[in-house]
Amino acid sequence: MSVTVSTAARQSVKCDAIIVLIPETERQFGQHEKALTASIPHLTPVFESKDFTGKSLQTALAYCGSAASAPRIILTGLGETQKVTVETLRRAAAAAAKRAAASGCQHIAVEVQTVNGIDAATIAQAIVEGALLSQYAFDKYKTIAPSNGKKVKKLTLITDKAHQKAVTKGADAGWVIVEGVTLARDLANAPNNEIYPVTLARKAQEVGRKSGFKTTVLDKAKIEELKMGGLLGVNQGSTRPPVMIVMEYMKGPKSEKPLVLVGKGVTFDTGGISIKPAAGMSDMKSDMHGAASVIGTMQTIAKLGLKRNVVGIVPATENMPSGSALVPGDIITFMNGKTAEIDNTDAEGRLILADALCYADRYKPSAVIDLATLTGAVVIALGSVTTGMMGTDQKTMSRLRAAAEKTNEYVCELPLHEEYEELISSDYADIKNSGGRSAGSITAALFLKHFVSYPWVHLDIAGTGIQPKAAHYVCKGGSGVGVRLLTEMLRHW
Ligand code: BES
Ligand code: MN
Ligand code: ZN
């Protein structure tokens, strides 16, 4: 995939299809109709038919003949002008790219026009994100190309000299963000026989080398030395060793305390001895989506060259049943000396996160945000649309809310009232790892809260990270959620 910016007139851009985004609002629609039919007369019957009205996500394809260098033009609706948002543009670009791909186009050119007061850089970024992310498929294992597998590979943004600089800036940022989201999707969708703890660590090291952050991998011996009983406990049923991946990007002022991002890295979650049902278990190859989001974000901020101090921490292991696995009733001791009774071996994410949250303390962080596919309960509460947000740091939560507004990666806060604590009280240890079905996402977060000593936000992405179906520019399966959200927050801190 590649993105370029051109200041040529729309009819002289060489590509497979020109895309024009058109609002439904009468005045603007009329202006577009007039200008378009004047330069490309082949569009006259399209407009005369009134099939295309500029309704949101509507598309119309016409052939340009000798009127343009491109053989096709695709009109794409934006809906009412006053209602156009950045998300409208992402979705419209996605709809247009899909229509183009279905007609076998590999190179599309989209005209960037300011609409509803949104600046040119933001529009360019949105178009790049929507068009390119819509073309994603985890298809590297397909040796037989599917018949509907044609993809757009090249995107040109058409603008004028006055907006060239802003459009280029937005397109460049969009491109880096798309790469970060794509990395997170690839990691999350990779099966466990490709991405398991050691290969996840290697991948993080490679990404760090290429994009410019330092990666340290703590191996099993080091994890034992640090007495990380949570990570070791979950790992003890597995033949593959655990790792703790630590990524440091320190490009901010020396005096700035780092923001630490922690990502759950369960490369496959069978449930362990409290084993999950067979149906749908393959989704649990994505139980390291939190880790994927953190690695994808580290790559993105490094490539954008943000002047910030950010640390990424990923505890990684499989959760397997075996003769050596944890069993219910076992009591484990974490890095900070606290103990937990295992009530359900399927509540493993909080056990490995507990040690990672203790480890984060070394960085004296300004705040810690963890991302985890932590509970089925959050899927029941918020579905695949909204990420469950909990924590102790209202300021960071406001920042995340503001970033969510822009990226459309919604977050919604759930309460951590003290009254829920009794659900995870244990007769034998400090706490137990499951509070049962009631308030499952909250009790999971309250478990984590026992291990934090700094401002903290927990994002439960079990629903938003593993999508049941594709929509607009978001793919089915591992969605890459979190990369755009965190990057947006960090860019505008
Ligand atoms: N990885 C799962 C949560 C999950 C469920 C993620 C569905 C994505 C989709 C987690 O480890 C888990 O199994 N949680 C249990 C906790 C329970 C045993 C307290 C759950 O939610 O059922
Ligand atoms: Mn589990
Ligand atoms: Zn899990």
pLDDT tens per residue, range 300-344:
999 999 999 999 999 999 999 999 999 999 999 999 999 999 999
Please answer whether residues 389 and 400 qualify as being in contact, where contact means their C-beta atoms are separated by less than 8 angstroms: yes
Beta bridge partners of 458: 370, 390
Report the C-alpha gap between 201 and 355 in whole angstroms: 17
Q: What is the mean pLDDT of the chain?
A: 97
pLDDT score of 146? 77
pLDDT score of 148? 73
Question: Does the C-beta of 344 come closer than 6 Å to ligand 1?
Answer: yes
Report the C-alpha gap between 14 and 8 in whole angstroms: 10
User: Any idea where the domains of the chain sit in the sequence?
Assistant: 2-160, 180-491
From 271, 301, 290, select the one nearest 464 (Cα to Cα).
290
- Note the pLDDT tens digit of each residue in 258-312: 999 999 999 999 999 999 999 999 999 999 999 999 999 999 999 999 999 999 9
Question: Does the C-beta of 379 come closer than 6 Å to ligand 1?
Answer: yes
- Note the pLDDT tens digit of each residue in 137-175: 999 999 998 777 789 999 999 999 999 999 999 999 999
Cα-Cα-Cα-Cα dihedral of 374, 376, 380, 385, to 10°? Answer: 50
pLDDT score of 206? 98
pLDDT score of 147? 73
pLDDT score of 145? 81
Which residue is closest in CA terms to ligand 1's atom 14? 375
Mean pLDDT, rounded, for 407-423 = 98
Q: Is the pTM of this model over 0.95?
A: yes
Considering the domain delimited by 2-160, tell me its CATH architecture: 3-Layer(aba) Sandwich (3.40)
CA 269 – ligand 2 centroid, Å: 6
| CB-based contacts of 30, cutoff 8 Å, min separation 6 | none
Tell me the one-letter amino acid at 252.
G
Nearest ligand 1 atom to alpha carbon 349: 11
Question: Does the C-beta of 376 come closer than 6 Å to ligand 1?
Answer: yes
Question: Does the C-beta of 287 come closer than 6 Å to ligand 1?
Answer: yes
Tell me the one-letter amino acid at 191.
P
The residue to mutate among 345, 370, 375, 443, having the most atoms of ligand 1 within 8 angstroms of its beta carbon, is: 375
pLDDT score of 493? 85
Residue 471 CA neighbour count, 13 Å, CB half:
9
Q: What is the CATH number of domain 180-491?
A: 3.40.630.10
Nearest ligand 1 atom to alpha carbon 437: 19
Of the chain, the percentage scoring pLDDT greater than 70 comes to 100
Q: Output the six-digit token pair for 115.
A: 């609409």
Question: Does the C-beta of 328 come closer than 6 Å to ligand 1?
Answer: no
Mean pLDDT, rounded, for 458-484 = 98
350 noted as active-site residue:
yes
| pLDDT(74) > 80 | yes
